[in-house]
Amino acid sequence: MLVLIGTVPNKSGLHIGSASAVGGNLKIGDTEFPVERGTAAMAASAAMICEFYGLQKPLCIFGADSGDGVGTNMMFHEVFENLDKYDPDVVTLHYMFPKVGYGGPFIAKVDSLKKRPQLIADAGGMYLMKTTKLADKFDVFTPDQGELYFLADEMAPHPLYVREEIANKNLTVASLAGLAYNNKNTAKTTVIKGAIDYIYRDGAKVNEVTGPNIPAMEAIGGTGDTITGMLSALRFKGDPDADLKALTINRLIGERIGCTPATQISEFIKAIPEAVEEYEKKSR
Amino acid sequence: MANWLKKIFEPNYVKPKGIILYGSVQAVIQTHKMLEDKGFLVRLVAPPPEFRIGCDLAVEFDLIEQEAVENTIKVQPVAQNYNIVSAKEMLPDILKRSTFTEIDGYVMCKAGNMKITIEKKGHKIVNISGGGCPDIPYVAEKLYGRRIEEAEDPIKLGNSLCSYMLQISFDALKNKVKG
């Protein structure tokens, strides 16, 4: 099963269930979640991919949290208690309050499972695992280039604290990735999102995606979330090119819908099936 | 080397430093601003590792001024539920750098992992990107569609380091718009 864990704003309590994303709208049971950004955008993208390939729907564990940490706490409590019951193949951590106390128990719970799932982290989940020195227990991190500086700086407990000597040096992606790997501050695979997307595995660059080149995509909130969601679902499918495919499909969507810096991510999510179709046709 | 010259080149953290800790990022920012306005030499830093919970911010000050700092906090309208500890190490400073990019009639400002984009003409906020703390989707929703001159400060809507970083890019963009 694909298990997606993250916080959502403007709700209350804990929301657990299989997610569907008909027409790009995310639903768990009878509850709808706006997909304009964050965890809901990531989960809707994953659900669209699962639906396209006829895979089992992703299981979502969402904590309602607009910044006080209460929803994050409920969410982790559920994970510590019941993650084994969901029989996860892939677990993705997304937006959350990166409280350092959650890192160790999360890994202990994963280690206790009979079958070790693939672990993916983005956003607060990635901040948490880097800060608690557990990054190398993960299979994939999906930072943007700003977050890559954070992974490269072994002293920074959050992207806000990247030291000036690193932030102002204009270091190359290769040297930043090198620092992150040398200090064990990133996952086995690091998918770096930017004007050029890079895929690093165990410290070595294994691929990059340069086109179609659409500068407006950097401004659109959620274009990283769609990559994380699609990549999670494609890895769940067992696709050997999951990372490359997610990055390419995201760019194909941007081109297909003619996005501008004012485009909202819901438009991207709706266009996922057509872009996947286009990708599959081209690669046949 | 003469003593006065040594002092000039002496790293700041050699002087004993005190750290003011609160349970919320908003309270830290408010107290930091108040102390700065009152003429204290203060700095926003990451708390020492043993006091970090996650998503933390603290105010650093010269420990020699502890009494004056505490007396000032006592009489000002800022949160009173703080703790003070001493710092034995150089603590990470906050990132202050922001950059601008123009794309097809829009201006994007980026600080660290947070980006905010407005229309070049109407100054309407059209997108907020980046971040990983739970308040960011909420803050983004509240800011979307507002003119940057009229929009509420991100840090008043959110309470995380990502919101504070968004505030840095928001302020830079607002200043650019003002000219």
Cβ atoms of A203 and A112 within 8 Å: the answer is no
A133 touches chain B (CB under 8 A): no
Supply the DSSP string of chain A, one letter for each residue: -EEEEEEESS--SEEEEEEE-GGG-EEETTEEE--SSTHHHHHHHHHHHHHHHTPPPPEEEEEE-SSSSHHHHHHHHHHHHHGGGG--SEEEE-S----GGGHHHHHHHHHTSSSPPEEEE-HHHHHHHHHTT-GGG-SEE--BHHHHHHHH-TT-SSGGG--HHHHTTT--HHHHHHHHHHTT-S-SEEEEBSSSEEEEETTEEEEEE--S--GGGGGSTTHHHHHHHHHHHHHHHT-TTHHHHHHHHHHHHHHHTT--TT--HHHHHHTHHHHHHHHHHHH-
For residue A43 the two structure tokens come to 């989960």
Percent of chain A with pLDDT over 90: 85
Cβ atoms of A92 and A120 within 8 Å: the answer is yes
- Which chain B positions have a beta carbon within 8 Å of A156's beta carbon? 46, 92
- Which chain B positions have a beta carbon within 8 Å of A123's beta carbon? 131-132
A218 touches chain B (CB under 8 A): yes
Record: contact B137-A37, CB cut-off 8 A: yes
Record: contact A161-B117, CB cut-off 8 A: no
- Which chain B positions have a beta carbon within 8 Å of A69's beta carbon? 134
Residue A68 above 90 pLDDT?
no
Record: contact B163-A219, CB cut-off 8 A: no
Task: Please identify, in words, the CATH class of the domain defined by B3-87.
Answer: alpha beta
pLDDT band at B93; cut points 50, 70, 90 = confident
Residue A282: the pLDDT is: 86
- Which chain B positions have a beta carbon within 8 Å of A215's beta carbon? 101, 103
Beta strands A90-93; A118-121: pairing state = parallel
Supply the DSSP string of A118-134, one letter for each residue: EEEE-HHHHHHHHHTT-
Residue A249 above 90 pLDDT?
yes
**Edge to edge, what strands does the sheet with B43-45 contain?**
B43-45, B58-62, B17-21, B83-87
Beta strands B58-62; B17-21: pairing state = antiparallel
Residue A186: the pLDDT is: 98
Q: What is the mean pLDDT of chain B?
A: 90
Residue B162 above 80 pLDDT?
yes
pLDDT band at B2; cut points 50, 70, 90 = low
B127 touches chain A (CB under 8 A): yes
pLDDT in tens, A218-242: 999 999 999 999 999 999 999 999 9
| ipTM exceeding 0.90, yes/no | yes
B interface mutation test: which of A97, A122, A158, A263 has the most B CBs within 10 A?
A158
Q: Which CATH architecture has domain A2-283?
A: 3-Layer(aba) Sandwich (3.40)
B29 touches chain A (CB under 8 A): no
Name the residue ranges covered by the structural domains of chain A.
Answer: 2-283
Supply the DSSP string of B19-83, one letter for each residue: EEE-S-HHHHHHHHHHHHHTT---EEEPPPGGG--SS--EEEEEGGGHHHHHHHHHHSSS----E
Name the residue ranges covered by the structural domains of chain B.
Answer: 3-87, 99-178
pLDDT band at A17; cut points 50, 70, 90 = very high
Partners of B130 in beta bridges:
B114
Q: For the residues A254-263, what does the mean pLDDT come to? A: 97
B11 touches chain A (CB under 8 A): no
Partners of A28 in beta bridges:
A19, A31
Residue B1: the pLDDT is: 52
pLDDT in tens, A90-135: 999 999 999 999 999 999 999 999 999 999 999 999 999 999 999 9
pLDDT in tens, A185-204: 999 999 999 999 999 999 99
B interface mutation test: which of A33, A92, A160, A218 has the most B CBs within 10 A?
A160
Cβ within 8 Å of B, A 247-276: 260-264
Q: Furthest-apart CA pair in chain B: how many Å?
A: 59
SS3 B157: helix
Record: contact B134-A219, CB cut-off 8 A: no
Record: contact B130-A36, CB cut-off 8 A: no
